Chains A and B, each alone.
Chain A
């Protein structure tokens, strides 16, 4: 579904991604594991179009992403939940979630919201609360729901577990599995390998802007437990 070949990203003199190649097959959940500064966000942001690429190619469902303007990528079926959640703090939970669904009619938006609220009940209880007042876990749910509100085919999650207590990680993992069951392909990043590997099917280990190792999660999990790279 998503094919990345020799992708390079630079920030001025800093080489953040050095000719990275990854494949995200349809309906799988792929995890990028790596320490801070490994280049995970750079990769996610290049896919969504928030950072320019300095080389290589990205193909999504046969379409060259270089030819798709950043503001049109969501319309092509790519949903995005940024690192640090980045909810709009002065907007209500409902407006936050529907900010991702600005292209559909009001009735369809209400349906989408109801559907997401069955997965994240807090959307129902706190729909009129300002997102800035929520806890980190709740904000993460809002950010994921916002990414899902346009019904994407590919969901990009940049460190969805960052700084969260195990109960929240559990709930968010369940939601990701639900999305996956309903046919959504997921590409997520994480520093902590263990909880993330439980939801994923395939994984890549990144360090210093390069891929260190890749394979099915079972292999990576044993490596992670051995703390080979963390």
Chain B
């Protein structure tokens, strides 16, 4: 009998596919030279990270709209370190843009994770609303409405990452890192996250310290959003409040839910498809958020499993049996 299973053997097919896709994506910068395509792919990678941040919280049935707020913390951390303190080493910047939002999420988590259901959702949206205000009101630290421009090139292994193709490579590597962290977290804490999602109260009466796992998830989700923020400021070479508007949170939630929240492939597929579509129709800002909002509602009402869920359903199943929870 085998009851002791290693992390690797517990990784599911969807997770392996996701990791394989992200590893293969590392080759993209070597094949793509068209500037518009490079830009599109870079935006997709940033979208993937934002969507993974939402996906982690949805494992515990918590919907968050705070992704842009943590992206701003990660992005501004990198901008301030590189412009004001000459820190350009990619590993230091990655560690800081993951670590600072992670740490900020600890006290914040104690405050907001007490809230349930729609109250939690609202509070996370308020966090996203407050962040640009904070950025505008602290010009000495964040440059206020000017933001922080002219970021020096990040240096990896002694080589500056300057041209847009290298930046795409870096963003893809970050998205791969975010995917790997998400897989590890959701696998190691899968039973805990699932019992919280299924029945938190029952989980607690079985001795599950639900708040502890919710904090873990929240911190990692914030850290991954921070990586997305870092990627975004590097792509734009600027940290500016307008990159982190509260409404942009709708995009990340839409990527995950339209893509499908039941599997890690959902946020990947959703980000790729929706970022591609909004570029195709050259939708910008609030128009795309409005459309994504509608798409989100359509997905929630008609296709709970999102795109990945619909594809799964179309695939013939070996045996049809019923799930009963009695």
Contacts and interface: CB of A to CB of B under 8 A. Distances in A.
A52 interface: no
Given A91-B198, A110-B3, A100 B323 contact: no
Size bracket, chain B contacts: 20 to 34
Find the residue from A70, A88, A106 having the highest chain B CB count within 10 A: A88
A85 B325 CA distance: 9
B282 interface: no
Interface in B206-229: 206-211
Given A86-B199, A90-B194, A99-B195, A133 B324 contact: yes
Nearest to B323: A132
A115 to B, nearest CB: 11
Contacts of B209: 71, 102-103
Contacts of A95: 190-191, 194
Contacts of A88: 194-195, 198-199, 325
A99 B203 contact: yes
B77 to A, nearest CB: 33
A100 B4 CA distance: 17
Contacts of A103: 207, 209
A70 B205 contact: yes
B201 interface: yes
Contacts of B192: 99, 102
B321 interface: yes
Say which size band chain A's interface belongs to: 35 or more
A207 interface: no
A87 B325 contact: yes
Contacts of A110: 3-4
Interface string A84-112: 11111111001110111111001100100
Interface stretch (A13-21, A73-81, A188-196, A220-228): A73-81
With a 10 A CB-CB cut-off, give which of B198, B199, B206 has the most chain A CB atoms. Answer: B206
29 contacts: A50-B201, A50-B202, A70-B205, A71-B204, A71-B208, A71-B209, A71-B210, A84-B326, A86-B202, A88-B199, A88-B325, A89-B323, A89-B325, A90-B194, A91-B198, A95-B194, A99-B208, A100-B207, A102-B191, A102-B208, A102-B209, A103-B207, A103-B209, A117-B3, A132-B323, A132-B324, A133-B322, A136-B326, A147-B206
Interface of B: 1, 3-4, 190-192, 194-195, 198-199, 201-211, 321-326
Given A91-B198, A99-B203, 20 more contacts: A49-B204, A49-B205, A70-B204, A70-B205, A71-B205, A71-B208, A82-B202, A85-B326, A86-B325, A90-B323, A94-B3, A99-B208, A102-B208, A114-B1, A117-B3, A124-B1, A127-B3, A132-B324, A133-B324, A150-B207
